[in-house]
């Protein structure tokens, strides 16, 4: 599988801007937030620096009942900024099973843009971010565009940096695999921190209807619905200017809850291909754990063991090196072997965890 991923990745060159700027769509940037007082202003300042014409995009920040001073900071910023900034202050809601979807859905109802672009309150974006997305959409006619996401690393201690670097490598495997699936016209993964789609298509497929009771899936379930109608209109934007940086988890607990949330989605996929791929990835990683055990109990000889590990790990090393280089994280390539030792255990663990009751804490709330 990794050999196929390498081939697909290398055969698709980075996108170069080429559209006539007069044909670019009006954009609505939607940012769902909850308790992002320490981050949201940095993102809004990034948006102020966009090379995209100010009259061709608006920013909607959907505040989901923050308990810190997020709203106060937004109101102060709104008075001074040159951005077309709308604050969508959501009222408290009991039994809010999918707060992020509610925030995005209500914001789309207020949006004037033809192209919806979503990101998160703790993200940072390049000054050519919107221009690159809009140009790509105009050139390809894509209905949904998934763009790359990686992690920032601004922590003060070496042990925290190591933990974040490990997460960055693990996350790059998801970004790279999802990108290759889209490039092969078999979309299976995307990330709401850097997602764009036509407002008309969102409305045509019924938005988040059908999985509104699941907290997760504002990105992938929507992508699968659009792909079901328009399989050739789902694209991955392979361009460095489109990369969004977000914050990694500084605690094991928050990392655990996020990955548990992600792993719990596969049972709800309507696509048999996507479900089969999730099972295949689980089995491939479980095999790496099982192989040494079989060797230990004399069910496998040394040559067979080495061949299994060599085929998987060498191809995986090359693929991750390519993706990390694209994400401007080439300096982390030396850490890949360490992650390869951890990753099969991680995938196996969360694969089993996802079979149980999928409750987790997210943004101070218990969700499922």
Per-residue pLDDT tens over the stretch 62-81:
999 899 999 999 999 999 99
Q: What is the C-alpha to C-alpha distance for residues 61 and 310, in angstroms, rounded to an integer?
A: 48
User: What was the pLDDT predicted at 257?
Assistant: 72
* Orientation angle between helical segments 336-353 and 252-263, nearest 10 degrees: 60
Dig out the tokens for 110 from the structure: 């207020």
> Does 206 reside within a domain?
yes
Q: Please check whether residue 324 lies inside any domain of the structure.
A: no
Rounded average pLDDT over 46-61: 97
Query: What does the pLDDT average to over 219-239?
Result: 94
Spell out where the chain has E strands.
27-33, 57-64, 85-90, 115-118, 124-125, 144-146, 149-151, 195-198, 234-236, 244-246, 360-362, 365-367
Residue 240: inside a domain: yes
Q: Are 131 and 50 in contact (CB under 8 A)?
A: yes
pLDDT of residue 61: 98
Give the H/E segment covering residue 4. helix 2-11
**pLDDT score recorded for residue 252:** 76
Here the CATH number for the domain that contains residue 115 is 3.90.550.10
Split into its structural domains, the chain has a count of 1
How much is the mean pLDDT over the chain? Answer: 85
pLDDT (average), residues 40-51: 97
Confidence of residue 213 (pLDDT cuts 50, 70, 90): low
154 pLDDT band (50/70/90 cuts)?
Answer: confident
pLDDT at 303: 74
pLDDT band at 367 (very low <50, low <70, confident <90, very high): low
41 inside domain: yes
Distance CA 125, CA 137 (A): 18
Is there a contact between 149 and 161 (Cβ–Cβ < 8 Å)? no
Q: Is residue 346 part of a domain?
A: no
Q: Identify the band that residue 364 occupies on the pLDDT scale cut at 50, 70 and 90.
A: low
Average pLDDT over residues 343-355: 68
Mean pLDDT within 130-134: 96
Confidence tier at 13 by pLDDT (50, 70, 90): very high
What is the per-residue pLDDT for 188? 87
Statement: residue 94 has pLDDT above 80:
no
* Residue partners of 161: CB distance under 8 A and separation at least 6: 153, 155
- Which of the two residues, 345 and 108, has the higher pLDDT score? 108
In a domain, 70, yes or no: yes
Q: Are 320 and 335 in contact (CB under 8 A)?
A: no
First to last CA, the chain: 32
pLDDT digits (tens, 9 = 90+) for 254-297: 777 767 666 666 555 555 565 555 565 666 666 666 767 666 76
Instruction: Determine, yes or no, domain membership for 284.
Output: no
Q: Give the range of the structural domain holding residue 240, as residue numbers without chain letter.
A: 15-254
- Which residue's structure tokens are 């789609």? 197
CA 21-14-193 angle, 5° bins: 75
């Amino acid at each position: 599988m990794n050999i196929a991923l390498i081939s697909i990745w290398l055969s698709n060159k980075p996108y170069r801007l080429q559209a006539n700027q007069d044909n670019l769509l009006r954009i609505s940037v939607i940012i769902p937030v909850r308790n992002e007082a320490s981050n949201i202003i940095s993102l809004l300042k990034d948006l102020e620096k966009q090379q995209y014409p100010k009259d061709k995009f608006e920013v909607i920040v959907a505040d989901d009942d923050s308990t810190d001073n997020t709203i106060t900071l937004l109101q102060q910023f709104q008075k001074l900024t040159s951005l077309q900034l709308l604050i969508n202050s959501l009222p408290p809601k009991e039994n809010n099973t999918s707060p992020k979807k509610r925030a995005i859905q209500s914001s789309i109802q207020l949006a004037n843009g033809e192209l919806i672009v979503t990101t998160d309150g703790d993200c940072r974006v390049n000054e050519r971010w919107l221009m690159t997305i809009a140009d790509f959409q105009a050139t390809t006619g894509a209905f949904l565009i998934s763009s790359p996401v990686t992690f920032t690393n601004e922590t003060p201690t070496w042990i925290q940096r190591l933990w974040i670097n490990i997460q960055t490598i693990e996350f790059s495997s998801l970004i790279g695999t999802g990108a290759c699936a889209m490039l092969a016209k078999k979309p299976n993964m995307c990330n709401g921190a850097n997602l764009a789609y036509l407002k008309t298509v969102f409305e045509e497929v019924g938005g988040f209807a059908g999985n509104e009771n699941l907290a997760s899936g504002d990105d992938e379930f929507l992508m699968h619905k659009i792909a079901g109608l328009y399989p050739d209109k789902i694209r991955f934007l392979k361009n460095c200017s489109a990369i969004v940086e977000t914050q990694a988890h500084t605690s094991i607990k928050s990392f655990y809850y996020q990955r548990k949330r992600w792993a719990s989605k596969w049972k709800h996929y309507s696509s048999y291909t996507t479900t089969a791929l999730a099972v295949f990835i689980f089995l491939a990683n479980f095999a790496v754990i099982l192989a040494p055990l079989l060797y230990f109990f004399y069910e496998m000889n040394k040559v067979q063991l080495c061949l299994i590990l060599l085929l998987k790990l060498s191809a995986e090393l090359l693929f991750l090196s390519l993706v990390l280089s694209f994400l401007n994280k080439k300096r982390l390539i030396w850490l890949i072997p360490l992650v390869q030792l951890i990753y099969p255990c991680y995938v196996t663990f969360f694969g089993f965890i996802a079979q149980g009751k999928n409750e987790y804490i997210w943004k101070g709330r218990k969700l499922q």
